Structure 1
């Protein structure tokens, strides 16, 4: 019978030297058994594919907790009296005792004798005959990543020794350990923030009607943890820093994007995706990470913010850091550190691109997706722990790298912009005021403020609600806006703004500027929430003359297709009107748009931006406003047998009806499911007829039993990002 390297075997009747007297020779080590699955169950790492690999299983352990190894001897039984055993644990390329990356433990006691913040080892009571069972305890602050173990066997009173081969294990964060900085006392939440390997990312719709896409995180796939460690390896920070959750998540926020050190994913916000994959085609993280590994760790093309966020969830959860994807609707991008979003106009009301200096590129994204991670903040005063915002989407440099966070949500909510890391940037994203400026010769700096909108940014911040799963809709959302900001219009919300202003010179200048324009005409843009693709829509602005004099108003209403970043794609339709309003009179200007006018102009996300500019001739009063709404697409229906079994052939049929009166061409299908199948990218033959039905069947063998999810996404030239999800209970 062969020794597979993990299960010891001794032929019956083997001759072993008795150990009553001092042995003649050292006791050679046959092999070291990591008790991989036993430890994995205790450490809550049994879901990792690495643990179950048939060729070379690898231990995955959590710090701050003990684990068991068994030393198997080949020549004789273990002697407590004569045999001496020591363990050497090494981390990184240059292990050092001083840095805590080279640990040497002598195994002599029957109990742990060191404090919990020290490495320790003891002889387990299960020790018998040729097997020495050892319990090893790792402190709760050890560097996370790949550790190497070597066992030395010595004979008492001699210089002889024998060393085992080095073996490897991963040690990761432990949110179940009270001494770990990522400890989360609400253990039920860890089922979502650590153990859930699929979920949702809100990456569509609008602030009035947010829409989520299903995503397969797949953090337990055999490729993920090695890649997570790889991006920490090339982050070029110290091995001791690898024990700090703060430093690790900061490195993750840089390593997920390609801007520094050839990270995982290339961002692309253009219309040209010919050299890679369109961001909306991805349905899960594993396919991206497999491509990254298979290309020799060359960055994968392409991603946008929701893909960066989903990858960050995968990496963080794989490393044991509680993590959630967070979507901020009407998200500000402040490029000049003024804490405001600024729009500049000349004296005639024409927009000044780039502002007075040409370097103001502030924008409001329809939505932006980043992440929250959970940890204490030993680098900050007490009270700033808990959820921390990090952002892997490359936007602005922080300490000469495209990285962002961790920014304490408590600091963001209070406006404490002086605390690390990148609090001012995230504060602006959720809480900036929007200012409209016009040239004014009487102003000290050449501009006066026409209007300040205090509640147009950070309208709602959403994430997936733990312990709830809505496949057909988005009732499993959690509104966490009040974790980021105080309620709009309250004294606490304004106090946070003024607290932040005190720490920003440019913000002081902008907020101290006063408006002097007379405003006696009221304007109201009628908001839309959503429409189904194929339906017409209309844009309306209502004007009311509140003065006792006649007012003449010029109004321009425009509908644009727009990217989710707020950048306009193409003008769909525009109307210009000039109206006369008698005192107290109210009139409405309407822009009607039908299906044939808009659908060919749509870009991924199917967002429409309505923009209105009005000017009152008699007073110079100017009104500008904008609103976004989304066009809703159909959902994929996924049909599967209820009797599917692990490791047995299974099939799923994907169906939907083409809602357009044109054929769908160059059709593609992406299918992904953690534990079910490796991700698939399928080129579908033929077109889908106008108003016809699409149907496709995929076959696979589920690898894991239990409740699993299959996620699919359909794309064509004419209709894109049509997705669906199906849960199925896979039987043993």
Structure 2
């Protein structure tokens, strides 16, 4: 599409004179290739700031000459405008301002090609363009159309400049990503379609800026500040959740999702953005951290800011700002829901690439931006941008929200054993939080380990803590409510808890408790072992399995105690990807000393298979078939079996296969016809559920590359 626009309406001046403008060709095809914006919009010319783009003016008369009739272009944004006299000198006059240049060979009797360039510090927005033509006697003005201006990571002077093309390919142009989930012991990969080339996505991102509180409150100020990626990322971060504004997503972490879509059912951003626009900016229900982060990543990539989705395993939510998380256990190893602080098995946020002139060159590069509404920052639910370098260097006063983010990846965990209102045991874990930090590797589906970029040496000095920049809140932990008892942590007794392999649904869960007696005395111990199912971001539910025994251990001895949870003991409470909290408490019968060890792991779901006819690369608008199947791996029959297949940009709606009873070893299959409507990376998603369990017990994704030829 060349975006030719007929200019029949005069803005001012009489419609007569020696020459009149007939149409403007926005040279969409050539400009989009030059500006790396192919496929972002079918409605608008999309260009990048600081780089010239072309447009051609065609006149009714063949007598036009720049010697007798001057041309002036005018760009308009809100109530601001800037005029650019079209220069024929062959040299750009003002690299800091807007310019319009004609080069030799671009002037013809009936047309002229103009090279327009914006300042590199221009606002990201939809601009309007006027053309003014003037002779000694006549002046005509034409509103000729619109264009979208984005950040330019290819341009060295742009604050989002990224020097390596392979990085730009991954963090700007790629419409496919991975979210890492589960636990650090069993990491699961969830594909995500960012969908920036889906029709209407760019327009939705622009609308997001237009309905932000900053724009609605002061349009002029907002347009000026939109040149700054730090400002843009903060506005967009707040707008991805709907807690303070007309934002995109409502969050929900428990209860029924029947009045919306369960967060686990989303596989791409385009559907979410389309729903938000079509509902007149009503929030889309529902999102959780990986959904919020993936949508934010889409918007940032569309606007030209390099971004990637990052998962922190064992992420601390420090609600009181003391960089410590307290957990409470009973004497029998059951975890209690007593603290406002928590540790999420995984938490997903976004890193955005930009310079930080407000902080200095040492803080340029990746910045944490977290749109999941957890705590308020300057009165609104957003978090960041905060330099990753500031977290590594423990600069807790760095804007924005460094203290909260630092706690997420490096807080200490204090675990207390409570009995009859007394603290009878205490352990401190300085390594568990931020166990792993992963993102998708460049050009592959392997994880890239970012842990070292966040976690410097503890005690390393940085900025002083600032009450203005750090989230410092009143104390909310409750350890002071309990009394200390004799005993507590035993210096001569060590215990660890490990899971054997990666348990799958239908397999036994095998655990090993290792006890080391470092004292010079024999000990008589009572071992309590407890298992609870939990959500990734919550404390566990009631126990579903317990065990206890008496143990005798000699001085210097190391014991390994074996425990097994059979499938029959968990199948009524656990489904695929569920997380289990296991804790062991050892009590010395003579000294009353107690030691605690914990472990959390997720159960792998049974396999679900997706096969695409002809391989994983398909042609756009060519019909192919895909086959999805699930085989019952259990020793029991499954009633009300449902196999569901869907795929944005590949299938219309959901396709289902149902069986009243699925026998052990029996297969359920669904064949679907797939036709891609747009190029790029698409995802087929299949799920299996049955009436015996309230949860989906298996989910699988299949990546398909769609080409135009």
User: Is TM-score (shorter-chain normalized) higher than 0.5?
Assistant: yes
> For residue 572 of structure 1, what is the aligned residue in structure 2?
544
TM-score norm. by structure 1 comes to 0.85
> For residue 127 of structure 1, what is the aligned residue in structure 2?
107
Distance 2:334 2:401 in 1: 34
Shift of 1:624: 2.2
Shift of 1:699: 2.2
Query: Higher mean Cα deviation, 608-617 or 28-37?
Result: 608-617
Counterpart secondary structure, 1:229: helix
Distance 2:368 2:447 in 1: 18
> For residue 610 of structure 1, what is the aligned residue in structure 2?
582
> For residue 258 of structure 1, what is the aligned residue in structure 2?
242
- The 1:581–1:24 alpha-carbon spacing in structure 2 relative to 1, beyond 3 Å, is closer
Deviations 1:587-609 (A, max 9, x none): 45554211122233125632222
Aligned pair 1:392/2:371, yes or no?
Answer: yes
Query: Higher mean Cα deviation, 627-636 or 314-323?
Result: 627-636
Aligned pair 1:325/2:309, yes or no?
Answer: yes
Distance 2:526 2:143 in 1: 82
Aligned pair 1:175/2:153, yes or no?
Answer: yes
> For residue 142 of structure 1, what is the aligned residue in structure 2?
122
> For residue 264 of structure 2, what is the aligned residue in structure 1?
280
Given candidates 492, 495, 519, the residue that maps to 2:460 is: 495
Aligned pair 1:157/2:139, yes or no?
Answer: no
> For residue 67 of structure 1, what is the aligned residue in structure 2?
53
> For residue 441 of structure 2, what is the aligned residue in structure 1?
465
Q: Is the 8 A contact 1:464 1:478 kept in 2?
A: yes
Distance 2:129 2:432 in 1: 56
Aligned pair 1:404/2:383, yes or no?
Answer: yes
Q: Is the 8 A contact 1:519 1:621 kept in 2?
A: no
> For residue 300 of structure 1, what is the aligned residue in structure 2?
284
Q: Is the 8 A contact 2:313 2:345 kept in 1?
A: yes
- The 1:575–1:448 alpha-carbon spacing in structure 2 relative to 1, beyond 3 Å, is closer
Q: Is the 8 A contact 1:281 1:713 kept in 2?
A: no
Given candidates 240, 243, 254, the residue that maps to 1:270 is: 254
> For residue 188 of structure 1, what is the aligned residue in structure 2?
166
Distance 1:598 1:650 in 2: 41
Q: Is the 8 A contact 1:664 1:689 kept in 2?
A: yes
> For residue 11 of structure 2, what is the aligned residue in structure 1?
none
- The 1:384–1:422 alpha-carbon spacing in structure 2 relative to 1, beyond 3 Å, is same
Distance 1:504 1:725 in 2: 41
Given candidates 336, 345, 365, the residue that maps to 1:366 is: 345
Q: Is the 8 A contact 2:240 2:296 kept in 1?
A: yes
Distance 2:207 2:269 in 1: 16
Question: Number of residues paired by the alignment?
Answer: 675
Distance 2:395 2:645 in 1: 44
Shift of 1:586: 4.7
Deviations 1:166-188 (A, max 9, x none): 41211111110111111001121
Aligned pair 1:626/2:626, yes or no?
Answer: no
Distance 2:503 2:520 in 1: 40
> For residue 10 of structure 2, what is the aligned residue in structure 1?
none
Aligned pair 1:692/2:666, yes or no?
Answer: yes
Shift of 1:678: 6.0
Aligned pair 1:310/2:285, yes or no?
Answer: no
Distance 1:176 1:664 in 2: 56
> For residue 227 of structure 2, what is the aligned residue in structure 1?
243
Given candidates 72, 84, 87, the residue that maps to 1:86 is: 72
Q: Which runs of 5+ in 2 are unaligned?
A: 8-14, 215-221
Counterpart secondary structure, 1:554: strand
Counterpart secondary structure, 1:239: helix
Distance 2:465 2:551 in 1: 42
> For residue 17 of structure 2, what is the aligned residue in structure 1?
25
> For residue 219 of structure 2, what is the aligned residue in structure 1?
none
- The 1:538–1:177 alpha-carbon spacing in structure 2 relative to 1, beyond 3 Å, is same
- The 1:30–1:629 alpha-carbon spacing in structure 2 relative to 1, beyond 3 Å, is same
Aligned pair 1:701/2:688, yes or no?
Answer: no
Distance 1:268 1:505 in 2: 26
Aligned pair 1:483/2:481, yes or no?
Answer: no
- The 1:504–1:308 alpha-carbon spacing in structure 2 relative to 1, beyond 3 Å, is closer
Q: Is the 8 A contact 2:505 2:576 kept in 1?
A: no
Distance 2:91 2:501 in 1: 62
Shift of 1:715: 4.0
Distance 2:556 2:275 in 1: 65
Counterpart secondary structure, 2:638: coil
Q: Is the 8 A contact 1:714 1:723 kept in 2?
A: yes
Shift of 1:349: 9.8
> For residue 655 of structure 2, what is the aligned residue in structure 1?
682
- The 1:448–1:71 alpha-carbon spacing in structure 2 relative to 1, beyond 3 Å, is farther
Aligned pair 1:435/2:400, yes or no?
Answer: no
- The 1:60–1:679 alpha-carbon spacing in structure 2 relative to 1, beyond 3 Å, is farther
Distance 2:99 2:127 in 1: 15
Distance 2:6 2:335 in 1: 77
Shift of 1:202: 0.7
CA RMSD of aligned residues (A): 3.3
Q: Which runs of 4+ in 1 moved over 6 A?
A: 345-352, 446-449, 497-510, 513-516
Distance 2:625 2:209 in 1: 38
Shift of 1:536: 0.7
TM-score norm. by structure 2 comes to 0.87
- The 1:664–1:404 alpha-carbon spacing in structure 2 relative to 1, beyond 3 Å, is farther
Distance 1:532 1:350 in 2: 23
- The 1:241–1:692 alpha-carbon spacing in structure 2 relative to 1, beyond 3 Å, is farther
Distance 1:335 1:433 in 2: 14
> For residue 291 of structure 1, what is the aligned residue in structure 2?
275
Q: Is the 8 A contact 2:62 2:110 kept in 1?
A: yes
> For residue 637 of structure 1, what is the aligned residue in structure 2?
610
Q: Is the 8 A contact 2:530 2:583 kept in 1?
A: yes
> For residue 625 of structure 2, what is the aligned residue in structure 1?
651
- The 1:670–1:60 alpha-carbon spacing in structure 2 relative to 1, beyond 3 Å, is farther
Distance 2:416 2:213 in 1: 44
Deviations 1:193-246 (A, max 9, x none): 111111211123x21331211111111112211111122222233111111100
> For residue 443 of structure 1, what is the aligned residue in structure 2?
none
> For residue 99 of structure 1, what is the aligned residue in structure 2?
none
Distance 1:136 1:516 in 2: 73
Q: Is the 8 A contact 1:432 1:457 kept in 2?
A: yes
Query: Higher mean Cα deviation, 34-43 or 525-534?
Result: 525-534
Distance 2:337 2:621 in 1: 60
Aligned pair 1:375/2:354, yes or no?
Answer: yes
Shift of 1:4: 9.9
Distance 2:538 2:181 in 1: 14
Shift of 1:663: 2.5
